[in-house]
Structure 1
Amino acid sequence: MNDKYKETTIGTEPIFQGRVISLQVDTVALPNGETAKREIVKHPGAVAVLAIHEGRMIVVEQYRKPLERSLVEIPAGKLEPGEDPLEAAKRELEEETGFRCDTLKPIFSFYTSPGFADEILHVYFAEQLVPGEVRLDEDEFLDIEFLTLEAAQQYIAEGRIRDAKTVAAVYAWQAYQLTGRI
C-alpha cells in the first residue's frame, strides 16, 4: 500500500455521539505541509447476507428515512461493539427473515463511503437455510420477499434495489449461477 499522500492527524474535535454513528472534525497535516479539516463519520461496521432459499434471494423492503423512500435490500445490520462479523451476519439473517444458517461464506467486504466515513460492510453468502422466527427490533418495520435472479435484476432496473450492498450481491449471485463459485 502506498501512503505517500498520508495525512497526519493534528487534532480531533468531537461533534456528535449517537447510537449508530459519531461525527468528528479532524485537523490534518497534508503532504505539502499545509493543513486541512476533514469531517469524519465513525461507524462500528455492518454485515449483510445474500441468502438463497429454494432458488430465490431473500430480501427485505423497508423505509429509509434519509432517502424518504422504501428500498428492497438484502438482510443487514450494524455490528455491536466487539462482535464477530460472522456471528453478526447469522444474527441479522435470523432477526430480519426468520431463517438460520450454520455455514455462511464470506463474499467480500467494502468501505461504504471512504471519502467521509470509516464504515466497513462484510457481505456473506448463505444457502441451506432453516426456517425459524422473525425477531425485529422494536423500531424496525419491513416486509420479506423472495426474488428470482431475473426479478432482482428487474428491481435494479426499476430503482427498487439501489443500495450498493444489494446491487453487488445480485451480481455476485449471477456470477455464482454462471460459475458455481461464490
Structure 2
Amino acid sequence: MNSTQLSALKARLLRNPGVVLENLAETNALSAAEVIECLPDTMWKKLDGSRCISVLQALPALGELTVIIHTGDGIFEFGGRFPEGETGHGFYNLHGKSGLHGHLRATRCQAIYLVERPFMGRDTASLLFTNLDGGIMFKVFAGRDAEGALNQAQLDALRALYGAQA
C-alpha cells in the first residue's frame, strides 16, 4: 500500500472507525494490525506480545467479559468470566470448567492492542491480541452496565494495563 492509499485509509477510519477491522484488512491486502494502526491515535494503544500471559492473568479478576473469535467462516462469542490459566507444554492453558477453555500458543502473540472506538452506534473497549502475521487471534471486550454503558471499572483496569489514566 502506497502512502496515498494509506492516507486514504486513515481518512476513512477517521470518518468511520466502526468498521469490521478484519474485513477492511482483507479488502486492502493488509494485516488487521496494520489496519488497527490506521485508526486515529487516540483510539488505540499497543503492548508488546511478550506481555500476553501477564495480560491474560489479569483478565479473570475483571468479571463478565465477552471473548470473540472471528474467522473467515464464523464469529464465535463467549460471555462470562475469563478463566484462570497456566503455562505448560508450549501453551497457555485456560482452565475453564464450562464455557471458555482451551489452549493458546501465547508465544505467537506479537502485540495486544487496547482499542476504544465506536462500533454499531455504541462506545466499545477491547483488547485485540494479534499474532506474528498481524492477524487477530481473539478479542476481549469490556462489559456493560444495566443501562448499556461500558463497565467503568473494567475500562479503568484495561487502561491501567497500558499505563493510561482513566
TM class by shorter chain equals under 0.3
Which protein is richer in helix relative to its size?
2
Structure having the larger proportion of residues in strand = 1
| Bigger Rg, which one | 1
